[in-house]
Chains A and B, each alone.
Chain A
Amino acid sequence: MSRQWRSLDQLADTPAFRQFLAREFPAVTDLCRGPERRQFLKLMAASLALAGLSGCDDPPDPRDQEVPYVNNPLRALPGTTLQFASAALLDGVANGVLVTVRDGRPLKIEGNPDHPWSRGGTDVFGQASILDLYDPARSQTVRHLGEASDWQTFRGMTLGTLAAIRAGAGNLRLLTGPVTSPALRAQIAAMQQVFPGLRWHSHAPAAAGYDSTRRVFGRALETRWRFDQARILVSLDGDVLDPGPHQVGASRDWAAARHASAQAGRLLPLYHAGSLPNLTSAKADDTVPATPAEMVALASALLDGTALPPGPVEQWRARVAAALQANRGAALVLAGSTAAPAVQDAVHRLNAAFGNPVVYTAPVAEPAEPLDALVADMAAGRVQALVMLDTNPAYDSQAALGFNDALQRVALKIHAGLYVDETAVRSDWHLPLAHPLESWADARSMDGTVSLIQPVTDPIYDGRAPAEILSLLMDPQPQAGRDLLRAHWRDLDDNAWDAALRSGFVAGSAFPAEPAVARAAPPASAAPDGLTLLFRPDPAIWDGRHSNNGWLQELPKPLTKMVWENAYTVSPALAKRAGIAHGDVIRVHLDGRNVEGPAWIMPGQADQTIGVTLGYGRTIPDMLSTGAGYDAYVLRDPASPWQASGARIEKTGRRITFTTTQDHNTMDGHDFVRVQHEDAAPVGETGSWTQPTMFTHQRADDGRAWGMVIDLDTCTGCNACVTACQAENNIAVVGKEQVALGREMHWLRIDRYYDGAEDAPKTHFQPVPCMHCEDAPCEVGCPVEATLHDSEGLNLMVYNRCVGTRACSGYCPYKVRRFNYLDYSAGAAPSLQQQRNPDVTVRARGVMEKCTYCVQRIAAARIEADKGGGQIPDGAVQTACQSACPTQAISFGDLADKTSAVAAARADSRNYALLGELNVRPRTTYLAERAPRGIAG
């Protein structure tokens, strides 16, 4: 008997078992240590059961070595939200942002209200960039010929080649995206000293160039507009409100000027003529579609004061010409970077001739040689080594350029990027780039203001910043990013440096205006006629660099509401002539190349044009973007990147169904979006929610009434609010199939309506969040009271009470509720789950969800106010959509506080309730669009 006991004793005393016990049950290890019989007897049963688990032992946990804080470091207050100033980059150009960080995890991008350019606004790319930070598909390690490697090996193996080049044996080239960073520019200059003969090229498929100012003014200049001094706006293929590096600041300037002009009783009208509908044309008060050839003729006719052949374009020209004459020196003529060169040139000359309030500054992007010169040299075998920094020319250069073939003639190909992309797999070395939120850097905004970018987290993967990679290539001892940046900004003393980091920008670094004198105009050449392909960056994934971002892929494109794909947009007239139906797969031929894609019949698009967006048709396997859309770069012409004439359409006989979040085009004769014409009677009806009701039940009321007012006049449909809402509220990405079934999860949608003829309709945008009805039909339906009103008038969703009857959604007249038909949130990659807002419940399957007015932000403000014992001050609560909006179209606050901004907005004569006649008393109301007097549009 005693032998048995001893053998069990031995079994219980194995080191593995002791270790297991110590780790799993620290409290019982002492009990186990003294093998006294009585204690042993107590533990015997447990030890027998647990002995088998000793095989599951792991190596010692390094966390054993951790020492807890005695004093918490400054930035590690658990559960406290910190904000760091930084910048979001699009084509190298900065928008000032604040990054919300909680417990060391960056969670959300907010606008930086102090930043001179962005002034608190953001765009979709900035909002979504936080998701890229956590993207599990990001490049995580150095790769050599496709095999995992490391930085040491890279340095060791390239050292010899680089030294030889430095000694003159060969030709090194540097290819980057657009560089606005003064520090990086200085570093490249230094690199050119180290590597004699180093030539620097820059390539960005969607970035605006300076060709037009070079032609007109003889040098590269940035064009900026003084909307505040303008009395009329004339947009010729303009894209001032459209996505791009300029969008945030320019939209803000436009909205402010529009608002101020309305207050002054003289609304700033926007005239637009263009080939493809865009956000700018959608917001125009008087818009006319014009073919590319008509655009060129129109621009020169406006410049010369001549007339065009009769037609809608001529009528538009006559109206605009009269308006321009009447507002000499106070008219702004705008052209987009994607407009035809002749149009851009004519616009510069028009503004110069009329003395319009246009400001020219030094170019934001540092000048570098173009890509085609590099490709020519590569093809000729004159390039021995090529460093490609944050650029993907193997995918996004024009196929006709022949980059991929030329690349094979380069001996040493080094690529640094966020993803193992098309260029990475064709390179010898791929280096993982750090995300901007992990890097030290600087960059300029469109006004020239230098934003400082500081890392808000350690690199999640093994990436390094561009400056660090250049240092690795050129410096004897590679330097850290902060040292490189600080060294460049050594003129700033420590106080100024800290201030710049804290505010996110270097004060007073904006570019001053520069004189620009237009040269004599060369004789105008007639634009080629015929079927023209018009290329545009995609409003959701830009040039393709954001194509692995689920939020952006699932973001309904502003005009088509399409997700996860792109299409050929064709005008209704062309579709009729060519016999193309919506969704027909067509093959577009151009110069012997052809690409298949579905046709989307686009109201308001000019005849004889096909619109294509860039960024789709990616071929890298196992990415979100794999298999989505078609690749328009194949058709792109190096000489004329934005338009190519001589296209031919061939029908394939196949048809697809588009995946869209909205199909209907018109308001069915209703006035969901109201328009307030100047001098007309007010269209608002502030009294609509005070109609008599049979249900005068008492409800809890603490005197506060949260409400929202959305100004439809300044809403540009840019989608920043939609993405911000998704980022703030842990909204799941459901994928193309689920969207096709009608199950997208966005809490906030932007309704797009067309009004008028199909050829030239008026476009309206209307953001629709939950209306937080005071007499909410949804609440009547719920049998378990999972949706109900709180004392502040919020219509709440209690997720853990919801059983999923979906009655509330059926009862909702606005259909703003979203249902977890499947377990959408569980499918997110673990790294993506780190982005989730800890203040917002992640919804399980079978649960209804909807806009909460960012109740977590209200709660945070209430806690803050309660500390001081006071009321929540007006403006203390900013909903995610509100703070993201670049035009400040959304006001939110306490309607019961008569001094609040939202109460003032609600008192506006344009204020009306959507479906107010249903008497559900919505807390969200709208301000009608404005329309200037004297314009039919």
Chain B
Amino acid sequence: MSATGQALTAPGETWVSAGRSVTDVAFGHEGGMRWWYAFAASLALVGVLAVCVVWVSYQGVGVWGNNIPVTWAIDIVGYDWWIGVACGALATSSLLLLLNISWRGAVNRITEAVAVIAAASAGLYPIIHLGRSWFFYWNLPYPNTFLLWPQFRSPLFWDAIDIISFLGVAVSLAYTGMLPDLAAMRDRAVDAMDQYGARQGAWTLRLKAQLYGIAALGWRGSVTHWHRWDHAYRTIAALGVIVVIALQTGAAVMFAGVPEPGWHDVISPVAFTSLSLWAGAGVVSAVLVIMRAVFPLKALITPRHLSMLALLLLGLGWANLYCYAAEMLTPLLSGTAYDTAVLARRFHGPHAWAAWSIIVCGLVPVQVFWLPRLRRSPMVLGVAGLLVAFAAWADHFMVIVVTLQHDFLPSADALYQMDVVGVGTFLGTIGLFLLLLLLFLRYMPVMSIAGLRQVVPHG
């Protein structure tokens, strides 16, 4: 029982039942056919991604709708959004851990998974969006006979380093956090082998025991193990917070560091970071709600957890609103004509839908969470999470496309229109995300058993 009086688990949950509930997901294949339908749909989207990537690589990025001046369009929008979701998820997980928040056990596993998987979707773009993607490694500092180095002043170079660091930290955090649970999975498989003996299906249990066992790196649950694990987990979480801030501020400087109107803004790093937290929280909320609906985990993901996430979305919504207000007030107060013109085009130009989407899909919907009843509604939380995620996408679109389309010289503008291959590529990355997420949900401990056991009574 927590101090607020609301239960973090359903009454009657014990150490054993909590562990069993989580491992049942992997061992019992609770999703059943629904999992397979979702898997097939995701696989189809990954097929779309494969076709688009092959086509882009073969023909050139001209198969997308990008032009001059809109050299970055939904390719970089997609990248910034995915890496924003990943950063948001990683930061949420890391902060919950570092602040020792008691309810994190239910959510931090899935936030860590979302961080890794979204980063994988994001990681495609910096490579395939290049005009000559086969030279992507020139962005990295590696010894070469030409003695050529990347250009260290470029935020794009920082970004390349940031992504690689991010992947390292996110994978480390997720994997480290999972170690005790992988051992639990191993033990569960061994238990099942004992239970079933030599009956049919035993060989798959053996295989599972071996694979989970290897993945668990010999975890035996000794006090020393727990002690070191706790240190490592928290240290990596601290690194996670740092890498998220570095990545998001770096990505922001990619825009803020140039004189372009609408980009050149000191609030940009803060705005990027808070937007990424918001988007990450939105996607995590949606995934958690779906997970809760599909798998028998309602006893472990309680209305209290939903309520916490809803409050997070609401609070971050206000943080973002503050950033938007600052972004709008700066040009209005400074009176710089180019900046005010970009501001006007954001709300009144050919892509005004993007700015209005931020308000209609992001800033407004989260206000429903002022009502405690709606905070506890999984349906409302899931929909709001997805809407916030879309609003974050629209924000990146607004920032990138509206400025590029018409910056200083009106003679240089050209209309950008979204195109089939570009949209297909983005949908394909969603497919990749879903596919990896489904595989994770199917085979991995979807919640932190160790974390849950800290909040359920011993039994």
B-contacting residues of A (Cβ < 8 Å)?
Answer: 662-664, 666-670, 672, 738, 741-744, 749, 751-753, 766, 768, 777, 779-785, 788, 801-807, 809-811, 813-815, 817-823, 844-848, 914-915, 918, 920
List the 3 closest pairs (A to B, CB-CB), nearest first. A804-B131, A846-B131, A821-B62
CA distance A742 to B68 in the complex (A): 6
Q: Are A846 and B410 in contact (CB under 8 A)?
A: no
CA distance A785 to B130 in the complex (A): 15
CA distance A744 to B68 in the complex (A): 8
Find chain A residues with CB under 8 A from B129 CB. Answer: 805
- On whether A804 and B69 interact (CB within 8 A), knowing A768-B411, A810-B404, the answer reads no
Mark B133-157 against chain A: 1 for CB-CB distance below 8 A, else 0: 1011011000000001111011111
- With beta carbons under 8 angstroms apart, the residue of A743, A751, A779, A783 that contacts B160 is A783
Asked if B41 lies at the interface with its beta carbon under 8 angstroms from chain A, I say no
Q: Are B409 and A672 in contact (CB under 8 A)?
A: yes
Q: Are A742 and B61 in contact (CB under 8 A)?
A: no
- With beta carbons under 8 angstroms apart, the residue of B65, B66, B257, B409 that contacts A815 is B409
Q: Are B131 and A822 in contact (CB under 8 A)?
A: no
Asked if B165 lies at the interface with its beta carbon under 8 angstroms from chain A, I say no
Find chain A residues with CB under 8 A from B149 CB. Answer: 785
- On whether A814 and B408 interact (CB within 8 A), knowing A806-B131, A845-B60, the answer reads yes
CA distance A831 to B253 in the complex (A): 47
- On whether A783 and B154 interact (CB within 8 A), knowing A743-B67, A802-B131, the answer reads yes
- On whether A803 and B62 interact (CB within 8 A), knowing A780-B153, A783-B157, A819-B131, the answer reads no
Known: A742-B70, A743-B62, A915-B408. 12 other contacts (CB 8 A): A663-B413, A664-B410, A749-B411, A785-B151, A803-B138, A810-B258, A813-B407, A819-B71, A822-B59, A822-B63, A846-B60, A918-B259
- On whether A783 and B151 interact (CB within 8 A), knowing A803-B139, A809-B68, the answer reads yes
- With beta carbons under 8 angstroms apart, the residue of A670, A788, A811 that contacts B258 is A811
Q: Are A814 and B71 in contact (CB under 8 A)?
A: no
The residue in chain A whose Cβ has the minimal distance to the Cβ of B65 is: A741
Find chain A residues with CB under 8 A from B412 CB. Answer: 662, 749, 751, 768, 814-815
Chain A to chain B contacts (Cβ below 8 Å), 25 pairs = A663-B414, A664-B413, A672-B409, A741-B67, A743-B68, A768-B409, A768-B411, A781-B258, A783-B139, A804-B131, A806-B66, A806-B72, A807-B154, A815-B407, A815-B409, A817-B68, A819-B68, A819-B71, A819-B131, A821-B60, A821-B61, A845-B132, A846-B130, A846-B133, A914-B409
Q: Are A668 and B337 in contact (CB under 8 A)?
A: yes
Find chain B residues with CB under 8 A from A918 CB. Answer: 259, 408
CA distance A664 to B156 in the complex (A): 32
Q: Are B148 and A801 in contact (CB under 8 A)?
A: yes
Closest chain B CB from A749 CB (angstroms): 7
CA distance A818 to B131 in the complex (A): 12
CA distance A298 to B256 in the complex (A): 57
The residue in chain B whose Cβ has the minimal distance to the Cβ of A787 is: B151
Closest chain A CB from B425 CB (angstroms): 15
Find chain B residues with CB under 8 A from A823 CB. Answer: 60
Asked if B7 lies at the interface with its beta carbon under 8 angstroms from chain A, I say no
State how many residues of chain B have any CB contact under 8 Å with chain A.
51
Closest chain B CB from A816 CB (angstroms): 8
- With beta carbons under 8 angstroms apart, the residue of A663, A782, A815 that contacts B69 is A815
Find chain B residues with CB under 8 A from A670 CB. Answer: 337
CA distance A818 to B72 in the complex (A): 13
Q: Are B132 and A662 in contact (CB under 8 A)?
A: no
Closest chain B CB from A540 CB (angstroms): 18
Q: Are A848 and B131 in contact (CB under 8 A)?
A: yes
Mark B35-61 against chain A: 1 for CB-CB distance below 8 A, else 0: 000000000000000000000000111
The residue in chain A whose Cβ has the minimal distance to the Cβ of B149 is: A785
Asked if B415 lies at the interface with its beta carbon under 8 angstroms from chain A, I say yes
CA distance A802 to B69 in the complex (A): 18
Find chain A residues with CB under 8 A from B341 CB. Answer: 668
The residue in chain B whose Cβ has the minimal distance to the Cβ of A808 is: B71
Find chain A residues with CB under 8 A from B404 CB. Answer: 810
Find chain B residues with CB under 8 A from A845 CB. Answer: 60, 62, 131-132
DSSP class of B's interface residues: helix, strand, loop or mixed? loop
Find chain B residues with CB under 8 A from A809 CB. Answer: 68-69, 71
Q: Are A822 and B62 in contact (CB under 8 A)?
A: yes
Closest chain B CB from A405 CB (angstroms): 46
Asked if B212 lies at the interface with its beta carbon under 8 angstroms from chain A, I say no
Interface residues of B in 138-186 (CB under 8 A from A): 138-139, 148-151, 153-157, 160
Asked if B416 lies at the interface with its beta carbon under 8 angstroms from chain A, I say yes
CA distance A819 to B136 in the complex (A): 17
Q: Are B60 and A785 in contact (CB under 8 A)?
A: no
The residue in chain A whose Cβ has the minimal distance to the Cβ of B403 is: A810
Asked if B260 lies at the interface with its beta carbon under 8 angstroms from chain A, I say yes
Find chain B residues with CB under 8 A from A822 CB. Answer: 59-60, 62-63
Which interface residue of B71, B136, B155, B408 has the most chain A CB atoms within 10 A? B71
Find chain B residues with CB under 8 A from A915 CB. Answer: 408-409
DSSP class of A's interface residues: helix, strand, loop or mixed? loop
Mark B257-290 against chain A: 1 for CB-CB distance below 8 A, else 0: 1111000000000000000000000000000000
Find chain B residues with CB under 8 A from A801 CB. Answer: 138, 148
- On whether A813 and B259 interact (CB within 8 A), knowing A742-B70, A783-B160, A846-B130, the answer reads yes
CA distance A282 to B63 in the complex (A): 39
Find chain A residues with CB under 8 A from B254 CB. Answer: 807
Find chain A residues with CB under 8 A from B150 CB. Answer: 783-785
Q: Are A803 and B136 in contact (CB under 8 A)?
A: yes
The residue in chain B whose Cβ has the minimal distance to the Cβ of A743 is: B67
Find chain A residues with CB under 8 A from B62 CB. Answer: 738, 743, 821-822, 845
The residue in chain A whose Cβ has the minimal distance to the Cβ of B413 is: A664
Q: Are B411 and A751 in contact (CB under 8 A)?
A: yes
Which interface residue of B153, B254, B257, B414 has the most chain A CB atoms within 10 A? B414
CA distance A317 to B225 in the complex (A): 99
Q: Are A820 and B414 in contact (CB under 8 A)?
A: no
CA distance A777 to B153 in the complex (A): 11
CA distance A785 to B156 in the complex (A): 11
- With beta carbons under 8 angstroms apart, the residue of B66, B68, B139, B260 that contacts A818 is B68
Find chain B residues with CB under 8 A from A751 CB. Answer: 409, 411-412
CA distance A615 to B318 in the complex (A): 61
Find chain B residues with CB under 8 A from A813 CB. Answer: 259-260, 407-409
- On whether A846 and B409 interact (CB within 8 A), knowing A742-B68, A783-B157, A803-B132, the answer reads no
- With beta carbons under 8 angstroms apart, the residue of A741, A780, A810, A848 that contacts B72 is A810
Closest chain A CB from B418 CB (angstroms): 12
The residue in chain A whose Cβ has the minimal distance to the Cβ of B159 is: A783
CA distance A535 to B134 in the complex (A): 52
Closest chain A CB from B324 CB (angstroms): 22
CA distance A783 to B129 in the complex (A): 14
CA distance A803 to B412 in the complex (A): 24
Q: Are B132 and A847 in contact (CB under 8 A)?
A: yes
CA distance A753 to B65 in the complex (A): 27
Mark B226-265 against chain A: 1 for CB-CB distance below 8 A, else 0: 0000000000000000000000000000100111100000
Closest chain A CB from B85 CB (angstroms): 22
- On whether A814 and B409 interact (CB within 8 A), knowing A743-B67, A783-B160, A819-B131, the answer reads yes
Closest chain B CB from A902 CB (angstroms): 23
Find chain B residues with CB under 8 A from A766 CB. Answer: 411
Q: Are A782 and B154 in contact (CB under 8 A)?
A: yes
Q: Are B132 and A846 in contact (CB under 8 A)?
A: yes
Closest chain B CB from A67 CB (angstroms): 43
Closest chain A CB from B287 CB (angstroms): 32
Q: Are A777 and B259 in contact (CB under 8 A)?
A: yes
CA distance A669 to B335 in the complex (A): 13
Closest chain A CB from B199 CB (angstroms): 58
- With beta carbons under 8 angstroms apart, the residue of B65, B72, B406, B411 that contacts A752 is B411
CA distance A670 to B340 in the complex (A): 13
- With beta carbons under 8 angstroms apart, the residue of A781, A782, A802, A804 that contacts B61 is A804
Find chain B residues with CB under 8 A from A805 CB. Answer: 129-131, 156
CA distance A364 to B204 in the complex (A): 97
Find chain B residues with CB under 8 A from A662 CB. Answer: 411-412
CA distance A580 to B413 in the complex (A): 25
